[in-house]
Amino acid sequence: MEMKAFSLVDESSGSKARISQFGATVISWTVRGKERLFLSEKAILDGSKAIRGGIPPVFPVFGKATSGPCADLPQHGFARNHLWTVKHKDTSSATLRLTPTELSKEARNAWSYDFELLYTVTLEGSKLTTRLEVHNRDTRDFEFQTLLHTYFRVNSIADVHVEGLNGIMYKDKVSSSEITERSEQVMCTSETDRVYPRVKDTVRIHEKSQVSIEIQREGLEDIVLWNPWTGCEKMGDFAPADGYKNMVCVEAGAVSKWHTLSAGKQYVAQQVLAARL
């Protein structure tokens, strides 16, 4: 499949974004001429696999469900590996849409609910807003999880810390344990894969003690912190091999529990990323 992608520009500030219709994935966001997102040099952009980098949206399951209605779906669900349609687009904003019509037979069979996802990407000055509306168009209630799997580009992971997670008991997926965070400056110094539930504070990514990105959230109360470290060598679509030093995933999500969406209702999950440096 040929890559279907388009660009947005905020003419007053010159900030730009590029969006792949496959997986509704923002693959580039530049502010003041600087790239803010990490995209693997080996990311597969032809629609045969979810894109390794940028902001792939995760829906209706985070990770792999072992039981329940999402059990037959692949890891992180179907939103990131289907072709979305463009519902609206102007210079600095676009809305993409995904419904059962766009799903593969396998995905429809695995998750049979009627739904509509509307994903709006808006550039405004040094901010990028990504807003996912989940509409339940079915006569049955359904349960879901969702997450915006943002890969941030950083100059050096050794100079990066994340603020806003102190005091939270997180699930450490590397050691399969629960640990209470005791730092206002959380760093990745080895493989990191953690789910911080119910994060109240504003989360900020610092580089060399300066705020580089601020993340505001609505409907996305949890934060996943992920860096594969040298384990990225085992991923066929991750390059360069030391690219883990130039990325950190700080993922705003609704993932630590299942969210029930009643028939006919909608849920809004939004993040606003503000580039400070």
Which residues of the chain form contacts with ligand BG6 (CB under 6 A)? 75-76, 149, 173, 193, 224, 226, 251
- Give the nearer residue to ligand BG6 in terms of CB position, either 94 or 223: 223
Closest CA to 150 of 78, 211, 203: 203
Query: Is 251 a catalytic site residue?
Result: yes
The active-site residue, picked from 149, 161, 206, 221, is 149
Coil/strand/helix, residue 107: helix
Distance of alpha carbon 62 from alpha carbon 257, whole angstroms: 10
- Give the nearer residue to ligand BG6 in terms of CB position, either 53 or 69: 53
- Give the nearer residue to ligand BG6 in terms of CB position, either 207 or 251: 251
CB of 149 to ligand BG6, least distance (A): 6
CB of 142 to ligand BG6, least distance (A): 22
Distance of alpha carbon 70 from alpha carbon 74, whole angstroms: 8
Distance of alpha carbon 58 from alpha carbon 144, whole angstroms: 10
The active-site residue, picked from 207, 214, 221, 251, is 251
- Give the nearer residue to ligand BG6 in terms of CB position, either 111 or 196: 196
One-letter identity of residue 76: H
Q: Which tokens go with 130?
A: 């990504």
CB of 250 to ligand BG6, least distance (A): 10
Closest CA to 135 of 261, 271, 269: 261
Query: Is 149 a catalytic site residue?
Result: yes
Q: Can you say whether the dihedral through the CA atoms of 247, 248, 252, 255 is positive or negative? A: positive
CB of 38 to ligand BG6, least distance (A): 13
Residues involved in catalysis: 149, 251
